[in-house]
Each structure stands twice: as structure tokens, then as C-alpha cells.
Structure 1
Amino acid sequence: MSDAHDDAKLSAVLVHGLRPTKVTIVDYDPAWPARYERRAAELRAILGERARLIEHIGSTSVPGLPAKPIIDIVVGIDDPDDEPAYLPDLEAAGYDLRVREPGHRCLRTGEPGEPVNLHCYPPDHVEVRRYLAFRARLRASESDRDLYAATKRELAQREWRDINYYAEAKGPVIGEILTRAGWRD
């Protein structure tokens, strides 16, 4: 969801509508990589060869970075719009479809205990490459990691009409960090 949001745009892609939220940022938890590994193994078992890529993304994938305690995973699915090819298997495993937009599906599971956001994109999609470039930069640059952490903590002080507005508010800082990583849109 890279375009500027408004309630109407979000309502068109959010399966359950807008959900007002207060973001909670916690210190890095060294258990997050193991939580990802368990979920990745589960996804490999559920999807088999349909999962062309499985990567831990987001702040929980960066050692030392404070984050929402939600594991973010991107799965490369050849055609996310072909929901019958994979979605029933994910739903049977407890994943709930939250976002439906062309070329992208986002699902959620594990609440309240070990929540996971699962993003399904084609494996070579620009958003997948952006996620991985951003993760690599944050892992390599302490100053960018600190900048991003401070931004997230500041934004977490507000209440949001939906989590997507929080994500959008981080956009300028993410753009700066990606530029330093050599990213070109």
C-alpha cells in the first residue's frame, strides 16, 4: 500500500474495514528469529512449492531494533490474485485475510499470543525487493536503525484511525533510509 491513504481507499482494500489502534513498541526480543523460523517451517509445510520465497521482514527481523511484537513475513506466491490456489490452505491453518489489493494479500494469525502478519506478493515484486533492501540497511547501519527506532517510538505516542496510517507516517524516514541504501524506485 504505497499510495497516500484516506479512509475510502483503505476501506476498498481492508477486508474487515478500518480498525482504530494504538501502536505498542517493545524492546528487541531475541526470541523473534525463532518465532519466525517456526512460522516459516509451518508455511513451507502448508504451501510447499507454491511458496517461492519466505523471508522475515519488518523490525522484528533486525537484531536490536525495537518493534511491535508481531512477526512480519513475506511469501512469494506466483499470483496472489489467484486466491483459490493458496488462500484456503492458509485460512485452514488459522490465517485471516485482512488486505486484498491487486498483486498483494495480507493475512494475520496468532492473536493474541504470537501474532504474524503475512504478506503475499509475487516473488520478484518491487515491494519484496524494498522490504529486503530496507532490512539489509537497518541490519548494517546503527545510525539508520536508531533513526527508525526513534521515529517509531514517536509515532507510537498517537492513536491511529488504522495501522496503515501509522505505516504511512513512517514513509518519509523509510524513504531516506532506502536512499542511503542505494534504492532507486
Structure 2
Amino acid sequence: MNGLSGSRRLARPVRLALAPTPGTGIDGAWWPHTASVASELPELIGVLHAQLGVVVDISINWSATEGPLDLNAISPSGKTLGGTLQRSPRLMVVTGQEASATLLVVPHMTSQGLGTVVMRRAAGVTVEHSQRDAKLYELADCVMRAAAIASAKWSESKQSPAAPAVAVMPGV
């Protein structure tokens, strides 16, 4: 997919919002249409090719057995309807030959209104105050705070040196 020179028309366009200059914290968001992230990944890579160059690596902060966080169930206090957030928002770092971007992966089942606002917030796009739905913006801010915390923890864990497999003890 990275080397394609032409473009093809997609049945459902890739829902991607990317900051003009990636590389600072959360750089944008990707909102897949289905739960099958893997099936939509080639189209995402195709779209990101123009901004990042040939994609050489993708890292994610979730496991295949972990379900997505339900953004619709978050309250503005940062809690889900059933208690505090049990999972971090899903993040993806896409590294290209020219740049990399950290994307918030918006769960496919997120409501249209909330998904749109989260995408705009993740990309740093401002909306006129008169056009804002206060509740949606409050929820989107909560999601973005959680994503920023998750991103910082994830970056920190990737940068900390791994413990040696075998400890060498002098004189033994």
C-alpha cells in the first residue's frame, strides 16, 4: 500500500483528523468504521503516506484481548457509568520515513456528535463558541486528558531501559 502512486475511491472514506504539524503529544485521531481495525489499516496507511512518508512502523498501546473504552459512557468527571476509567484510550503511533504521529483511536461505536468533537480536539481544530455543545466538549476534554496521560505513560515506559535478562555480579 505504501508504494501506490494512484489513488482509489473508498466506499467509506478514512475518518482521520491530523494536526498540521505532527510530533507534539496527541497529533490527531482516527475513527474506524468497524471494530475490525486491521481491515481498515491499509486505507489509513495510504492516507498517512502523504503526511508521514512511507510508513515503517506502527505501535499500539492495547492488546488484542482488550475491548475498547466506551467513550459514550464517560461522564465529565472522568468516570464511566460503572465507576472510574478501567482502560486507557487506545493510542497508535504511526512512524513514517519523514515524520511520526500519535493518534487517538476513537472506538467505532462512539456517537456521531462525540466522535466528531473528539476528532477535532485531537487535531487541535477550534470551533466557534456558538457552535459548541457544552456537554460534548466537556466529554471530549475528558477523553483528551485521559489520552494525554496514557500517551505520557506509554512514552515513559518505552524510554525506560529494560532490565537485563541476567544480572552479572562482580566476584562471582
TM range (shorter): 0.3 to 0.5
Q: Provide the TM-score with structure 2 as the length reference.
A: 0.35
- Higher RCO, 1 or 2 (CA under 8 Å, sep at least 6)? 2
Q: Which structure has the greater CA radius of gyration? A: 2
